[in-house]
Structure 1
Amino acid sequence: MNITRNTTDNLSAVISITLAKADYQEKVDNVLNQYRKTASIKGFRKGQVPMSFVKKQYGDAVVFDTVNELLQKSVTEYINEEKLSILGNPIPVIKDAIDWNAEELTFDFEIGLAPEFDVDLSKIEVESLKVAVADEEVQKYVDNFSQRFGSLKSLEAAEEGAILKVDQAVNGEEAKASFIRIEDLKDASAFIGKKVGDIVEVNSKDIYDTAEEATQNLGTEVSEEGVNISITIKEINTVAKAEVNQELFDKVYGEGAVDSEEAFRNKIKEESENMYNKEADKQIINDVVAALLENTSFELPKEFLTKWLTFSNEQITSEEQAAEELAKMEKSLRYQLIEAKIAEVNNVEVNAEEVKEAAVVAIKEQLKMYGQTSIPEESMNQIIAGALSNQEEYNRLSYQVFTDKMLAIFKENVKLNEKEVTFDEFVEIITKKNEELAEA
């Protein structure tokens, strides 16, 4: 076997592979011998079919499969050994006719080469938002926790904030048990002051904003005209907020994690700022990416990529269509190359242990959202193992670890202009930036 590479221009080349019969004939003979043992041809006993018959019937197909397998393996090994950075995949050059009985066979593969370029992060300058959480914002969280960990309290009559257990009959059909939250209704006036046992007759349009909302709450299809509902009140409750004391602190953060209201509020403030600043970090990444795309220039092997898209994608039926598709993906492709270059220069790698650690953090945060702050180690290990066994979830966590490492590199090398903002200002800035990104 002989492999050569001819560069056609700076960003494309042709790999030529010449195979002698000796490179593949032994494997072809072995396959044909297996066929001979099992072939069933009229006039011959099984296993006694002459090899000439077997070669006539299966020879060309076996040579084709064997050669094709050898070519794919050889091209891949050559690219790896030569440390070629390619875009897309090698494209076989189609030949009009191939003499499979020739002593030598030569095949060509076109490849697109990744461009050479440098990335200078020190020239990038972006804004870094720092969110300062006000006392009013902290109080909203305190109220939310008090509500979430509160207890049900019976009421004599329905009032604002009440939760009603009811039986609902739609257009005279059999009543179905459900719950109604007064605060969720479009107009709750028909319920205010009602007591257990009272029946409220309304049209769905009176209490629900849309037909879709009515359908979801009633469990039956509702048109825009609405339906008549007969609602029998079975229970009237409200949520009595939990007191802001040690019992609430323990429920929110785990036993003994905080020991005073001041520490509780400080913990909320710290976590809130961390959460908002994580969003600010995402914006740093977005801004750095935009700046890198604007400031890092290099050519792409567009002619090759257009041909590769046409060859590899059955949905693309012309070079014009492929060119349009390439234009759509060019920005993403350029950043992938820039990102790969930064990762290579900074030796960024992600290992299984780091992915596991990320899974632990993500699962604990998710469980905490549901008030579960203390999970037995065995149960936690099972949850973690389940998450890591899901390939899609593993890939997501792996990319998150990679992104965190890239963010650290950006923060260390890019010029960050810190700007302290309120939560409302932060939302306004991020919303505007996202709208600009969507329009780009």
Structure 2
Amino acid sequence: MNITKNTTDNLNAVLTVTVDKADYQEKVVDVLNQYRKTANIKGFRKGQVPMSFIKKQYEQAVIFDTVNDLLQKSVSDYINTEKLSILGNPVPVMNDIDWDAEQLNFDFELGLAPEFDVDLSKVEIETYKVKVADDEVQKYVDNFASRFGSLKSLAEAEAEAVLKVDAKVEGQEEANATFVRLEDLKDASAFIGKKVGDVVEVNSNDIFDTVEEATQELKTEVTEAGVNVSYTIKEINKAEKAEINQELFDKVYGEGSVDSEEAFRNKIKEESENMYSKEADKQIINDVVAKLLDTVKFDLPTEFLTKWLLTSNENVTSEEQAKEELVKMDKSLRYQLIEAKIAEVNNVEVNAEEVKQAAFAAIKDQLKMYGQTSIPEETLQQIAMSALQNQEEYNRLSYQVFTDKMLEIFKSNVKLNEKEVTFDEFVDIITEKNKELEEA
């Protein structure tokens, strides 16, 4: 077998693969012998079918499959060995093949990745530091106090009560056990003052803001006219906020992590600013990507990519459709190439241990959100390893580690002009940027 590459221009090449009969004949004979041993053909005993008969029926198909497998492996090996940077996959050129010939020739078109440089030092963007105000810290304090509070039983319903009820929709036989937070209702007046055992009959339009909300809460299809519902009250409770003391501090951050209300508030402010910092980091990536797409220019082998889409995407059935699809994927394809170039220059790699540590950190943060701060590290490791058994989750975390490394490269090389903003200002900025991106 012989493979030669003919470069037609900077973005296109043709691989010519010459396959001699000796390259595949032995494999073909082995397969035909196996067919002969197992073939059940009327008039012949099993294993006694003449080879001439087997060849007449199967040889052409076996040669085709064997050569095709040989071509796929050899072309792939050649591309890897020669370190060819290609786009898409090789596209076979449709030539007439004389399968009886001693030598077979196959051509494959290649789309070559363009050559270009990326100078991050020429990129300049504005980045944001979100300052957390005292009133926002207070919202977090109130939220923690509510989350770690307790339920107090009430004799009758009041505005902030939570009712355990059996809800029966008119026309349905079964009642659904559920909870009703009176402060969430559009109008809770029908429930105020009611006691355990009382039945409240209302139309869904009187207590829910939208048909969608009524449908979700009642677990049944609700129309614009609403439905009549009977609520039988089983329990009446009120959530009482936890006191702002050491017990609450320990529940939120772990025993002894903070020892005063001032330290508690400072910790909340620090964590909030860190959380917003992560959002600001995401925007750094978005803004750098936008700048690079605007400034790093190179051509793509569009004619080849059109052919590749036609041969590889079953949903693309015409050249016009392939060209339309190529326009849609242009920006993502260009950034993939830019990203790969930056990673190559900076030796960015991701290993299994880094993915494992990312999974561990993600599980730890997730459990912390639910106040579980004292789970043994060994248990956390087991949960993380279990999550990584899912290939999709492993790939997601692997790309997250890669993205984090790219972010550090951007921070180290791009000129960042930091601007201090409030949270509301930050939200307005991001909303406007996303709007511009959608319109682009």
If the length of structure 1 is used for normalisation, what is the TM-score? 0.97
Alpha-carbon RMSD: 1.4
| Equivalent in the alignment of 1:294 | 294
Taking the aligned partners of 1:11 and 1:47, their CA distance within structure 2 comes to: 53
Q: Secondary structure at the match of 2:315?
A: coil
Taking the aligned partners of 1:269 and 1:326, their CA distance within structure 2 comes to: 46
Taking the aligned partners of 1:11 and 1:113, their CA distance within structure 2 comes to: 5
Identity of aligned residues (%): 79
Displacement of 1:300 in angstroms is 0.2
| Equivalent in the alignment of 1:126 | 125
Report matched runs for 1:45-64 at 5 Å. 45-64=45-64
| Equivalent in the alignment of 1:206 | 206
| Equivalent in the alignment of 1:235 | 235
Taking the aligned partners of 1:310 and 1:411, their CA distance within structure 2 comes to: 40
| Equivalent in the alignment of 1:223 | 223
Question: 1:60-91 CA distances to partner (integer Å, 9 max, x unpaired)?
Answer: 11111111111111100111111100000001
Q: Secondary structure at the match of 2:127?
A: strand
Residue identity matched to 1:402? F
C-alpha distance 54-160 of structure 1, shift in aligned 2 (>3 A): same
Q: Secondary structure at the match of 1:200?
A: strand
Displacement of 1:24 in angstroms is 1.1
Q: Secondary structure at the match of 2:104?
A: strand
Taking the aligned partners of 1:331 and 1:12, their CA distance within structure 2 comes to: 20
Displacement of 1:156 in angstroms is 3.3
Q: Secondary structure at the match of 2:322?
A: helix
Displacement of 1:378 in angstroms is 4.3
Displacement of 1:362 in angstroms is 0.5
If the length of structure 2 is used for normalisation, what is the TM-score? 0.97
Report matched runs for 1:240-279 at 5 Å. 240-279=240-279
Residue identity matched to 1:334? R
Question: 1:328-350 CA distances to partner (integer Å, 9 max, x unpaired)?
Answer: 10010000000000000000000
Taking the aligned partners of 2:378 and 2:90, their CA distance within structure 1 comes to: 48
Taking the aligned partners of 2:168 and 2:54, their CA distance within structure 1 comes to: 77
| Pairs aligned (count) | 439
Asked if residue 167 in structure 1 is aligned to residue 166 in structure 2, the reply is yes
367-376 or 130-139: which moved more? 367-376
358-367 or 162-171: which moved more? 162-171
| Equivalent in the alignment of 2:106 | 107
Taking the aligned partners of 1:82 and 1:308, their CA distance within structure 2 comes to: 21
Residue identity matched to 1:168? A
Taking the aligned partners of 2:158 and 2:234, their CA distance within structure 1 comes to: 15
| Equivalent in the alignment of 1:280 | 280
Report matched runs for 1:262-411 at 5 Å. 262-411=262-411
Question: 1:27-64 CA distances to partner (integer Å, 9 max, x unpaired)?
Answer: 11111121222223333332222222221111111111
Q: Secondary structure at the match of 1:389?
A: coil
Residue identity matched to 2:294? E
| Equivalent in the alignment of 1:92 | 92
Taking the aligned partners of 1:406 and 1:313, their CA distance within structure 2 comes to: 31
Report matched runs for 1:169-208 at 5 Å. 169-171=168-170, 173=173, 175-208=175-208
C-alpha distance 52-162 of structure 1, shift in aligned 2 (>3 A): same
297-306 or 53-62: which moved more? 53-62
364-373 or 414-423: which moved more? 364-373
Residue identity matched to 1:138? V
Displacement of 1:201 in angstroms is 2.6
Taking the aligned partners of 1:195 and 1:41, their CA distance within structure 2 comes to: 84
Taking the aligned partners of 1:176 and 1:53, their CA distance within structure 2 comes to: 72
Taking the aligned partners of 2:69 and 2:48, their CA distance within structure 1 comes to: 29
Displacement of 1:196 in angstroms is 3.2
Residue identity matched to 1:39? A
| Equivalent in the alignment of 1:141 | 140
Displacement of 1:229 in angstroms is 2.2
Gaps of 5+ in 1: none
Taking the aligned partners of 1:135 and 1:268, their CA distance within structure 2 comes to: 10
158-167 or 131-140: which moved more? 158-167
| Equivalent in the alignment of 2:152 | 153
Question: 1:252-304 CA distances to partner (integer Å, 9 max, x unpaired)?
Answer: 11111111111111111111000011000000000000000001000000000
Taking the aligned partners of 2:54 and 2:202, their CA distance within structure 1 comes to: 83
C-alpha distance 51-184 of structure 1, shift in aligned 2 (>3 A): same
80-89 or 365-374: which moved more? 365-374
Displacement of 1:131 in angstroms is 0.4
| Equivalent in the alignment of 2:17 | 17
Q: Secondary structure at the match of 2:242?
A: coil
Taking the aligned partners of 2:130 and 2:78, their CA distance within structure 1 comes to: 52
Residue identity matched to 1:207? I
Residue identity matched to 2:343? A
Question: 1:217-250 CA distances to partner (integer Å, 9 max, x unpaired)?
Answer: 2233322111222323332211110011111111
Taking the aligned partners of 2:35 and 2:191, their CA distance within structure 1 comes to: 82
Taking the aligned partners of 1:79 and 1:366, their CA distance within structure 2 comes to: 43
Residue identity matched to 2:255? E
Gaps of 5+ in 2: none
Displacement of 1:174 in angstroms is 5.2
Taking the aligned partners of 1:174 and 1:330, their CA distance within structure 2 comes to: 55
Taking the aligned partners of 1:185 and 1:2, their CA distance within structure 2 comes to: 76
C-alpha distance 43-174 of structure 1, shift in aligned 2 (>3 A): closer
Residue identity matched to 1:352? A
Taking the aligned partners of 2:309 and 2:416, their CA distance within structure 1 comes to: 39
Displacement of 1:167 in angstroms is 2.9
Question: 1:170-215 CA distances to partner (integer Å, 9 max, x unpaired)?
Answer: 3275544321101110111222233334333321110011222222
